[in-house]
Structures are given as C-alpha cells and as structure tokens.
Amino acid sequence: MNPLAEAKQLFHDALVAQEKGELERAAGLYRKALALAPGRPSVTNNLATVLFQLKRYAESKQLCERLLETHPQDAMALLNLGNCQVKLDSAEEALGSYEKALEMRPDYAEALASRAIALLEMKRPQEALESCDRALGVKPDFAEALSNRAKALRQLMRSQEALTSYERALDIRPAFVEALQGSGNALMDLGRYQEAAVNYEKALAINPDLEYVSGDLAWARTRCCDWRGRNEEVGRLVGAIRAGKRSVRPFMALSMTDSPQDQLLCARTWISDNFSVSPAPFWNGARFRHDRIRIAYLSADLREHVMAYCLLGLFEKHDQARFETTAISLGPDVPSEMRSRLKGTFSRFVDVQRQSDREVADLLRELEIDIAVDLNGFTADARTGIFALRAAPVQVNYLGYPGTMGADYIDYIVADRFVIPEQHFPCFSEKVAYLPDTYMATDSGRVIADWTPARAEAGLPERGFVFCSFNNGYKINPLIFDVWMRLLAKVEGSVLWLREGGKEAMRNLRDEAAHRGIAPERLVFAARAERIQDHLPRQRLADLALDTLPYNGHGTTSDALWAGLPVLACLGKTFAGRVAASLLSAVGLSELITRSLEEYEDLALELATNRKRLADIKSKLARNRDTYPLFDTDRFRRHIEAAYTTMWERYQRGEPPESFAVDSCSK
C-alpha cells in the first residue's frame, strides 16, 4: 500500500474510533496518518478536535496555530482554535477566532454556536442568544446551538425559556448529555428539584464519569429533602472528594461533610479545575499611596438579600475619613428600598453584571483598590475568576462563604475564635484575621414592627409549644430530624414550624415524620415572606429555635436573636457548623451552646418543659440584645476596620499575609 492510501485508511480507522469514543486510539491513528501525509487540514483538524475532547487544550491549540500558518483561511481550524482559547481562559481571543471563521463562512453554524460560549464568558448573554439564533437559522436541528442558547437564557435569568430550549435539544438528541445536565440546572433554578434529579440521573446513566453531576444529583435530592440512600450517597461523594475527583461543588460540600479537611480538598479541586491563578496578574506588586485605604466589596447580593441586611449597617458606618469604599455589584440591578440605600452608602457603586472577569479586574486596577473583599466565595453567581486574576494587592474571603476557598490568591479569611479555632488553621488556605467578638456583621438599625400576628394567621395551634427552624431545607438531614421528631414525641401538643421549601420538600418531610411515628400535621410550614420586615415579627410566635448541623443557621440565627427568639445550637466541627455558637457567645447566651446532639436534645426538652427557665433566657436575651457586642454595629465596624488596616500595613511594608488577631475595643 502506498503512503497516501495507507494514510487514507488510517484516517478512516481514526474516524471510526472517534465515533466510538476511543479517543486515545483515534489520536494515535490521526498522528500516524499525518506522518504519512503531513499538513493535511482534514486530518489536522480532526486530531485537534480529539485532543480537545481529551482536554489537552494547549496541545490542540498549538496544532491549530501551526495549521493556520499554512492555511490562514481554514474556517474549521479557526473554530477549533477558538474552542481551545475559551478553555484556556482567553474568551476575547476566542471571539476573534470565531469572527475570522465567520468571515470565511458567514453561515458556519458551528462557529456561531461556539461564538456564543465566548460571549457568555464575557458576560454578553444577549449577543450570545442572538448568535445561537443565527446558527439555528442556518441549521434548525442543531442540538448544540439549542443547548448554548439555553445557557444564554439562564444567564439572562430566563430559566423557563432555557428549559424549553434544552427540551428541544433533547427531542433531537435524547442522549445529549450536556442538555440533560443543563436541563437539570434549569429545573434547579425553577425549584423543581425532583425533576432535576431525574435528569441528572439520566445523564449519569449515559456517562457515569460526568464531572460534578453526581454531586449535583445529591444536591437536588437534598434540596427537596429526599433522603433515600443518603448515607451511602454522601459516603461515596466524600470518598471522591478525598480522591481528588471532580465530584462535588464546594458550597454543596458544606452540608455533606463535617470535616474541615474534606472541605479544603473539595475547594482546592474546584479552584484547580476552574480558577487557577493567572500567569499574568493584574496587580503587579505596586504599593498604592492614597490618603484613604481603598476597599472594594464584590458581591452578587447587593439587593434584597440576607447578606445585604447583615452588612448595611457596616457600610453606612464606615469611617469615610480613613476608608474609601467601592461596591462592585455582580448581580442584577433590581429596584428596591435596599438597593437604593446601598447605592447611597458607598463612595462609588458600580454595576458590573455584564462585564467580564478581566474587565472587572481591570477596573479594580484602574481604581487602585488596596483591598478587594469577596462577599460571595462559592455561593450563587460568584465571580471567583476576578480574584484569580489578582485584581488587588490584598484579597479577602468574608461572610458569604463559611469556609476556605482553597485558593493561593485569597490572602485572608475574616473569622473569630469560635468559627476557626487555631487547630483548624491547616484546613484553610487563607491566613486568618480574628475579630474579637464575632466575625458576623449585624445592623443595629433594623426596625422590627411592633405588631405580632396571631398564631392562627401563621397556621399554628393556639396552644402548645412551638419549636421552629427557619433554616434552608438543605441544612436539614436525617440525623437532626431524628432529634426533632423525638422532641415532638416527648412534648405533648408541640409542633415544629419550618420554612416553606416547595411542595416536594414539604411532602417528603411530612412523610419522614410519619415514618418516625409523628402525625404529619405537626409539621407547620411558614409561607415565604416577601419582605424580611414581615418575617421578623412572626418569629415571636415561636418558643424555641432549633439550629441545624453540620451547617448552622447564619443570617437566620442572627435574625431570630434580633427578634428575641432564643436559638439552641450544637457546636459543629467546621466553620459552617460553628457560626451559631459564635453569635450566641457574642450576645451572652453561651448556655444555649451544646457540644453533642445528646446534650442538644436534653436541653431542648428541658427548655420545652421548664417554662420558667425558658422565660428567664428570653428575658436575658431581651436585656443583652442592646448591650452585648453581637448587635453593636459600630463596635464591629471598628474591629473590622482595624483588621483591614493591619492587612494594608503589612502589604505596604512588603510583608506577606500572616494570621493575626484584632484587639477588642469598646469605644
């Protein structure tokens, strides 16, 4: 067989192997074909595609660049190059490659669909949507374009339309794994957790090795309190975390494992996979010299959100003579009273929702920000990529995410000695900045309405002890639920008042109660309050709040204490499980901190049956609320400003970050 004929046969064999998913074999066959027939565009492009599928992006990119040196108008090579550039965090360059491909072939549907991904990376979802629609105009049954279109719609917060687009893709290709996973994500947005779980299961049945989908499946079940096989499922996922597998997103791990070591491993895997440190940091080591320390708070939650309610008092009280504060709003600009107040609080308020990570990092550099504070961490709509670009000299993890981010470019985490005891330092990639009372900001200016609704208005019985927990449903697990059901069994006429979390969750929790011998109607669900001002007064109807473990209530616990409702907590092993203890200590109610679930259950029973003791605790909380540190916003402001000053002084001296503690100051 002559070399050309042999190359053709190898090319055919490689195509068959690629179709079967035998990617390594296909790559080897394409290489052999190229050795016999060097420079063939079709072979080179297919090899580049296979290398891309194998996640060898740099190698694939280099191959495309070599081909384009001799064939600069090869549209497929430009497409492949753009795909690699997106994966290598060069969305702007990728967009240029796609545009060049479209100059060669204006109706190139694949380039139009891929162009949308680059635009999404650059936070330009409307243009991405239009690009997908152009692709579908050329190729109506293009499943990938429909899937990318759905991604654009999700970024535009149009999840129902996104779901429809995913469903159209699945009508065309029922086994399209990306669309199955994406439709699961859209269903999660819509609160349809049980349906989301079904789609994740279908995706995993096709490809059991899909990254993070096993964790997403467990999370969907957790969100609707579906605990079937939970122990085994969590055990497998924790094992995967320890093996360094891409199995669980960090925020989800907070309620799955009570090991700070596991949470660090999970965060490091996520960071390594998604947000590696930039080889070209935006901050180049310069020491900015200003009259005031420049602080930027970055958050997607500068709106009607629990985080904003916690921080509003701090933002309003910042010492403007010493600090220049900038708000970098990453989330939607939805008009509200809170949004208006926030906009008037900062030296500048910048909406960057539709700017890319690089554009935001460039903005922080232009503003010569000294300290960038990440208020999201790994919560919804986080923009970790901005921090990966080293946008500021000092970068801080605070409040939004109760755990380590596992990233070398996050210098500090703000904490207190409850949430991060010194023996846990090795489980945090950040250096720890200790505040003296509690790490959590509160707003002493929040007003609670004088009125209290009648029990009947809240669906509660006129008589009987009311246990409550307004924590999110994903924080409830079988272990803590067992304790709660035993309490209901022991306290005659008592009820458990929970936060409404969707029909599936309510049904599942009532079924779990019945399974434990408790009448389902003894679980009462509080309808969602449109405004926090409406939620706070009704908490007075409860007798005792029961906290969750391993993930405590955070803002929820602060709200309850502010409303005068005692909270019983069990001290956990991780940051997320130690917050309630921090808050109770700071309001002078350490007697409500227990060290085991047995102690927690015994004390709950004692308080439910000894009305005088509970009344004494409520009276103590009423006295302490206005005199203890927890709700002393100005005291907290002085402490966190002292922490910022220490961070700034170290960087000004050219010293690396180091853990430190702020001294208590009462005035």
**Strands 431-434 and 412-415, bridge-based pairing:** parallel
HSE-up (13 A, CA, CB side) for residue 96: 4
Cβ neighbors of 461 (< 8 A, separation 6 or more) are 455, 493, 495
- How would you write 489-501 as a 3-class SS string? HHCCCCEEEEECC
- How would you write 359-404 as a 3-class SS string? HHHHHHHHCCCCEEEECCCCCCCCCHHHHHCCCCCEEEECCCCCCC
pLDDT per residue as tens digits for the range 594-626: 999 999 999 999 999 999 999 999 999 999 999
pLDDT per residue as tens digits for the range 266-295: 999 999 999 988 888 999 999 999 999 999
CA–CA separation, 29 and 636 (whole Å): 65
DSSP β-bridge partners for residue 184? none
pLDDT per residue as tens digits for the range 234-244: 999 999 999 99
Distance spanning both ends of the chain, measured CA to CA: 91
pLDDT given at position 428: 98
- The percent of residues above 70 in pLDDT, for the chain, comes to 100
pLDDT surpasses 70 at 249: yes
Kindly indicate the confidence band of residue 5, based on its pLDDT and cuts at 50, 70 and 90.
confident
pLDDT given at position 140: 98
**How much is the average pLDDT of 489-500?**
97
pLDDT given at position 214: 98
Note whether 300 and 384 are within 8 A (CB): no
pLDDT given at position 1: 60
For 39, other C-beta atoms within 10 Å of its C-beta total 11
pLDDT given at position 666: 57
DSSP notation for 438-482 = -S----TT----S----GGGGT--SSS-EEEE-S-GGG--HHHHH
DSSP β-bridge partners for residue 212? none
pLDDT surpasses 60 at 563: yes
How big is the chain by its Cα radius of gyration, in Å?
27
pLDDT given at position 238: 98
**How much is the average pLDDT of 128-137?**
98
Write the CA distances from 38 to 11, 315, 532, integer angstroms. 13, 64, 68
pLDDT given at position 389: 96
HSE-up (13 A, CA, CB side) for residue 145: 20
pLDDT given at position 489: 98
pLDDT per residue as tens digits for the range 442-469: 999 998 888 889 999 999 999 999 999 9
CA–CA separation, 212 and 228 (whole Å): 20
Torsion angle, alpha carbons of 359, 361, 365, 370, to 10:
150
pLDDT per residue as tens digits for the range 390-436: 999 999 999 999 999 999 999 999 999 999 999 999 999 999 999 99
pLDDT per residue as tens digits for the range 143-185: 999 999 999 999 999 999 999 999 999 999 999 999 999 999 9
Domains of the chain: 296-434 (3.40.50.11380), 455-630 (3.40.50.2000)
Short-list 22, 21, 45, CA closest to 33:
45
pLDDT given at position 318: 98
| Average pLDDT of the chain, as a whole number | 96
pLDDT given at position 573: 98
pLDDT per residue as tens digits for the range 75-109: 999 999 999 999 998 999 999 999 999 999 999 99
**How much is the average pLDDT of 578-591?**
98
Kindly indicate the confidence band of residue 115, based on its pLDDT and cuts at 50, 70 and 90.
very high
CA–CA separation, 407 and 544 (whole Å): 39
pLDDT given at position 667: 55
Residue type, 20: K
Kindly indicate the confidence band of residue 6, based on its pLDDT and cuts at 50, 70 and 90.
confident
pLDDT given at position 162: 98
Q: Which structure tokens are listed for 149?
A: 């279109």
